[in-house]
Structure 1
Amino acid sequence: MAHEYATLAALRRRVGSETADTSRDDDLTSALAAATRGIDMATGRRFWLDDTPTARVYRTAGRVVREPDGDLLLVDDIGDVAGLVVETGSGSAWSPLTGYETQPDNALADGKPVTGLLRSGSWGFGTARVRVTARFGWPAIPDDIVEAALIQATRLYKRKDSPEGIIGSAEWGVRNLSRRDPDVWALIEPYILPGFG
């Protein structure tokens, strides 16, 4: 997929591999990809940005929140509003829509995604559909997510040395690996969408 949250070079350094040593690259690349997709699944979102705008269709039922200054349509993370198009309709009949604001205010300036579109009027209810064309994802991968990916990829890479989930050391003796790495969880927890994790 090639949208990993850390670089192979950073993971090589993390596991103590020499820069010129590429003998473990396949295993390290696999661990990094698995760690990245695991973060995606645990948080319910992805932190890489689409290369070009793509269209997604949303039913308004269950996605509209009534706010004091209008109706907020909850959308997937939008990391860039260049090329943002909002339309209503269905099938092959779509009409452009104006009069909306991106929410939260200043999200992109703060390095966070747009997660809602606020409209003073109604988005429509029930079977109404809204098509949003945008670059989905995050504007940039947060540092916490990069660190979580490196920790988890290192853990997955070293898992080959503990096939039964048991690790040992002369200093600490034998112990079971925990199901979740507490540091990884602490780093990704603020990014988890409600209903995930």
Structure 2
Amino acid sequence: MAEYATLADLKSQMGIEADDTTRDALLTKALKSASRGIDRATGRRFWLDASATVRTYRLEDRVVCERDGDVLLVDDIGDVTGMVVESGTTGGGTFTALTGYETTPDNALADGYAITGLLKPHGVWGTSSTRIRITAKFGWPAVPDDIAQACLIQASRLYKRKDSPEGIIGSAEWGVRNLSRRDPDVWALIEPYTLPGFA
């Protein structure tokens, strides 16, 4: 797991000198919590596997019929180098390599986005007993700028939360007020990346 922003960026945003290390432990904890909170809120993660891993999918509720063929919805794939797609059957144990599929959306990796589906042009992926096994680097090719900025805002908010244990924060300019449950700026940044059902 990785944080979506650096300690140096967080310190710069909060006006903390780079050589001031007295708060590094708390700031690092805030960065970790903000990053994992973004994962939970969006239903995905934005760091890339260090090496290829294997995931297996049943076709039920994962295939979308489109004009060009069936699309198998997969977990985010951030690197297709050495990617292997195989087909097997439930309880069979034997998998056969597949070819003739396309990644979707088109140009996802080139545009800095993850691959979210595999298209079987003018074909189908199999039957209800078919299982598809994919070996790839899952995650995102790089942390999107919006996610990094949301992480910095949320980490700053979490760090300052220690000064408002009852959810109330005071300011000489604005007086005393309750903290909102969800930061609107953080939500505006991460909402476009949120998977259906995680809003």
- Give the TM-score normalised by structure 2: 0.96
Aligned partner of 2:139 in structure 1 is 137
Secondary structure of the 1:65 match is strand
1:125 deviates by 2.8
Q: What does the per-residue CA deviation read over 1:131-190, in whole Å, with 9 as the maximum and x for residues that have no partner?
A: 011111111110000000000000000000101000111221110000000000000000
CA–CA separation in structure 2 for the residues paired with 1:17 and 1:170:
21
Aligned residue number for residue 185 of structure 1: 187
Give the unaligned 5+ runs of structure 1. Answer: none
Aligned equivalents of 2:87 and 2:16: distance in 1? 53
2:168 paired residue number: 166
Q: Give 1:68 deviation, angstroms.
A: 1.0
| Amino acid in the other structure paired with 2:48 | L
Cα distance per residue 1:61-87 (max 9 Å; x no partner): 000011111110000111111011000
1:122 paired to 2:119: no
In the alignment, which residue of structure 2 is the partner of 1:83?
82
Q: Which runs of 5+ in 2 are unaligned?
A: none
Which is worse superposed, 9-18 or 94-103?
Answer: 9-18
CA shift for structure 1 position 15: 1.9
Aligned-pair distance for 1:193?
0.5
* Superposition TM-score, scaled by structure 1 size: 0.97
2:37 equivalent in structure 1: 38
1:6 and 1:106 map into 2 onto residues whose CA distance is 26
| TM-align CA RMSD | 1.0
Question: What's the counterpart of residue 92 of structure 1?
Answer: 93
Q: Which moved more, 1:28-37 or 1:112-121?
A: 112-121
Moved over 2 A (4+): none
How many residues of Structure 1 are paired with residues of Structure 2 in the alignment?
A: 196
